[in-house]
Amino acid sequence: MSAAGAIKRALIGRPLATEAELGERLPKKYALPVFSSDAISSTAYATEEILLALIMAGSAALTLSLPVAAAVAALLAIVALSYQQTVRAYPNGGGSYVVSRENLGVLPGLIAAASLMFGYVATVAVSVASGVAAIVSAFPALHGVSGIRIYMAVGLIIVVMIGNLRGVRESGRVFAVPTYAFILLCGGLIVVGFVRWAMGDLQTYQGDMAEASRDLTFFLILRAFAGGCAAMTGTEAISNAVPAFKPPESKNASVTLGLMAGVLGFLLIGVTALSQITKVHPLEGKETVLSQVGHLVYGNGFFYFALQIATMAILVLGANTCYAGFPRLSSVLARDGLMPRQFMNRGNRLVYSNGIIVLTVVAIALILIFRADTHGMIPFYALGVFIGFTLSQSGMVLHWRRLRGPGWTRKAAMNTLGAVLTGVVAVVILATKFVQGAWIVVVAVPLLVALFYAVSRHYKRVADVLQLRDIAELQSLSEEADVEAHTTVVIFVAQVNSLTARALSLARAISPKDVRAVTIGNDPIHTERLQETWRNLGIKVPLEVVDSPYREFVKTAIAYVRSLQPSREHTVTVVVPELVVEHWWEELLHNQDALRLKGSLLREPWVVVMNIPLHVAAARPESSEAATG
């Protein structure tokens, strides 16, 4: 095994056979952390986003944070119930793209897919950046370290990528402990906080009261609600990943979705209520709201630091939900000819490795652009997801109306309510966050849709070219198999050696009557010596010299091939001799003219490229002696 292979095996694990796919499926106890960590982890910043909007109207406005959080929780319950119906209706995975395309049409399906993909990328960046903020809050000494947030965020994204490349089941085991630790510690924070408050033992925020910078308006309350809706991102991931559950898939996915909604609703309302009781203020860029509440409830001891570490861990692992959703959505789009086919390929560990790697690269780019600032990425974070929610729920309404099965009116009514509410939220987010960054989604989604169409047109064009028109064409191919085609064989010669001899032998076997040996003349002395050697050896194939005044081998060679006017009736075969060295570093000691020539010739119609490799290791005299001995 090579060094690269050994490193890959150590990081990702041994390859899994296709037959092991069923064993990689997840039970509910692992599915919850894998597919719900994104939604549950949003507890760490959803309350803060509500407070950041309300604080602009002064400290008194923060009393509205609990009603706003309750409204978000109510919306979460409705959307979760709606998606439970989607899970049962689409046991093979009913994400926004599948439901929208099947029921609303191709364009709505592509808009849903593009919105959701953008949401997945943004979620990875936001979750990891927020996790880094939790650690920096716990250790204030890190505030002054230049670029520490960016370095930590990039490193953590790479760790999550490696965890996912190891496989779905293994990532479930890895991510289960931090997720359940956060649920226990954050849930404990709420219980202990309310007990201490009831006993009159809970301290409150001692900082200065914030002054109002603007009036408390309905628009400002809507902005706070839009910020709190960030808690709902990731809700759809379970409906995308139904096939990843152990049988019965739909039932297990539905139960997991209900558990996720219940846990998230409890944590969101509990943390928001404690923030109101303790009168904490958002300290943007310094200490998170959850950290402040943790200080007041747990003090500065073990449980506070455990909470912060668990918060960091689940926020980082919140990105894992997207690593489960983005690659699967990409594979479905690739299957439908809307993304490169490579996204359909599963790697050694039965995961969609290409999707995982692309998601990592784009998320890191967002981290670098926004310098790991959570608040800077929130405005465009949730919009794409809610567009997907709205289209998916609208598609489900048409799904029930078309089937008209038992209880279809009740099911359609539930999905109608979900579509209306999530549509209203999408409009609210767009209106209240447009200038702050929501405009990015408005630009990015159409660009992605255009990309889908471009990829689709390419695959259709290729399929049309490759299509066998009719049976007569196949018969004509068979009839003409014995007819000698007009083929010119070209060999580009730089020197006379064993590679040249092998190339000439093959060329004459392909086309005995039309072989062209050509040398590109850029050094008169070398060219003259080569011609002399050619004559002295009595080689029957004439050596043509093509001058290259600017010493450009590939461009001159391509021009020569084109001068032969290759066509359907006259193909040109270029035989390319190539030396294969023993070690990768030895490639640096040889020019890569053969490689560049092959790459350029592939773009020439009716030109065939034949490669003749000569392996140094196999061709050495000592190797031949060892073989015969």
Residue for token digits 């439908």?
336
The DSSP bridge partners found for residue 134 are: none
Tokens in use for 120? 């997945």
Cα four-point dihedral sign 619, 622, 624, 626: negative
pLDDT at site 207: 66
Q: Which two tokens stand for residue 2?
A: 């090579």
Coil, strand or helix at 226: helix
pLDDT digits (tens, 9 = 90+) for 447-498: 999 999 999 998 888 777 666 555 555 455 455 444 445 789 999 988 888 8
Please list the ranges in the chain whose pLDDT falls under 70.
1-25, 93-94, 143-144, 146, 167-175, 206-213, 284-285, 347-350, 465-485, 586, 588-591, 619-629
Burial 16-37, CB ≥16 within 10 A → b, else e = beeeeeeebbbeeebbbbbbbb
Task: Give the C-alpha separation, 575 to 428, whole Å.
Answer: 64
- The answer to whether the beta carbons of residues 575 and 509 sit under 8 Å apart is no
94 three-state secondary structure: coil
The first and second tokens of residue 441, run together, are 């989604």
Q: In this structure, what are the phi and psi dihedrals at residue 616, rounded to the nearest 5 degrees?
A: -60, -45
Q: From CA 331, how far away is CA 344, in angstroms rounded?
A: 4
DSSP H helices in 90-167? 96-104, 106-138, 148-165
Domains by residue range for the chain, with CATH: 19-457 (1.20.1740.10), 484-628 (3.40.50)
Residue-level pLDDT at 32: 82
Those residues whose C-beta lies under 8 Å from the C-beta of residue 349, and which sit 6 or more positions away, are: 12, 13, 15, 16, 165, 166, 167, 170
Got the DSSP string for 522-579?
A: S-HHHHHHHHHHHHHTT-SS-EEEEE-TT--HHHHHHHHHHHT---SSEEEEEEEEEE
Q: Burial of 63 by CB count in 10 Å (0-12 exposed, 13-18 middle, 19+ buried)?
A: exposed
Say if residue 215 is exposed, middle or buried (CB neighbours under 10 Å; 0-12, 13-18, 19+).
Answer: exposed
Backbone φ and ψ for 66, nearest 5 degrees, come out as -70, -45
Instruction: Say if CB 547 and CB 583 are below 8 A apart.
Output: no
Please answer whether residues 562 and 597 qualify as being in contact, where contact means their C-beta atoms are separated by less than 8 angstroms: no
- Alpha-carbon torsion 423, 424, 425, 428, what sign? positive
- Cα-flanking dihedrals φ and ψ of residue 580, to 5°? -110, 110
Instruction: Report the candidate in 311, 294, 291 with the shortest Cα–Cα distance to residue 137.
Output: 291
Angstrom CA distances, 177 to 33, 305, 306, 340, 488, stand at 8, 16, 13, 36, 67
Give the closest residue to 215 by CA, choosing from 226, 223, 227: 223
Q: What is the C-alpha separation between 390 and 410, in angstroms, rounded?
A: 18
> What does pTM read for this prediction?
0.71
Question: Tokens at residue 572, please?
Answer: 């040109």
Residues 506, 610 contacting (CB under 8 angstroms): yes
441 vs 418: CA distance, rounded Å: 22
Torsion sign over Cα 179, 181, 184, 185: negative
Nearest residue to 89 via CA among 360, 304, 400: 400
Cα distance between residue 513 and residue 431, in whole Å: 74
CA 8 to chain centre: 20
For 464-499, b/e burial (b = at least 16 CB within 10 A) is: eeeeeeeeeeeeeeeeeeeeeeebbbbbbbbebeeb
What is the distance between the alpha carbons of residues 28 and 251, in angstroms, rounded to a whole number?
10
